[in-house]
Amino acid sequence: MGRQQIWAPRTHAGHPVPLAWVRLLVAHAELTRHMNANLLAGHFLTINDYEALLHLSWAPDGRLRRGELAQSVHLTPGGITRLLHGLEQMGLVRSVRDPVDRRAVSAELTGAGQERLRQAAETHARNVNELFTARFSRDELTTLAELLGTLTDPLDAGGPSGHSGITSPFGRGRLSPLVADEDG
């Protein structure tokens, strides 16, 4: 008896679901690898570091409890502890005890963290723009955003999806002002 591949696109010839799933996974992995390489080379930040700094910058007072931040960036408690340790070593965040609940620890963005994030955001926005505009027309990008929104919006509305309730200052579904409007 031969081994059968499960959920491989070729075993479901003509069925678009597994092919779409595999391509989404591969695209995510490749884009993440590319963004990591660019952020590391230019700013000594991983994509997870960048996202954590970004979420802290959106939070009131630039501060979030570690658990909230972990949920926001989709990391485990241990993962966020390791990430924050590295960012603290670089002076980009600091740990702050909650004055009311001394057991709770928050991460707070420092001035150096704000500056590093500002510089990295320029690089990140440029890289995202280059990647997407080199491959897609404006209409295709609009369609892609709508399709991905259709896929993720019901998940976001369905309860504990890993979001802290912190939303982007650029509006629902927009992490940053990556693409300038035609008149701006």
Find the range with the poorest average confidence among 91-95, 103-107, 168-172. 168-172
Between 154 and 103, the higher pLDDT residue: 103
Single out the residue of 44, 40, 38, 63 nearest to residue 52, CA to CA.
Answer: 63
Which residue intervals of 98-137 are DSSP H helices?
111-133
- What phi and psi values does residue 96 have, to the nearest 5 degrees? -135, 125
**What does the domain layout of the chain look like in residue ranges?**
14-151
Q: What is the pLDDT of residues 121-168, one digit of tens each?
A: 999 999 999 999 999 999 999 999 999 888 887 666 554 444 444 444
How do 63-65 and 105-109 pair as beta strands? Answer: antiparallel
The answer on pLDDT for 10 being more than 70 is: no
What fold does the segment set 14-151 form as a domain? Arc Repressor Mutant, subunit A (1.10.10)
> What pTM was estimated for this model as a whole?
0.75
d(CA 181, CA 184): 5
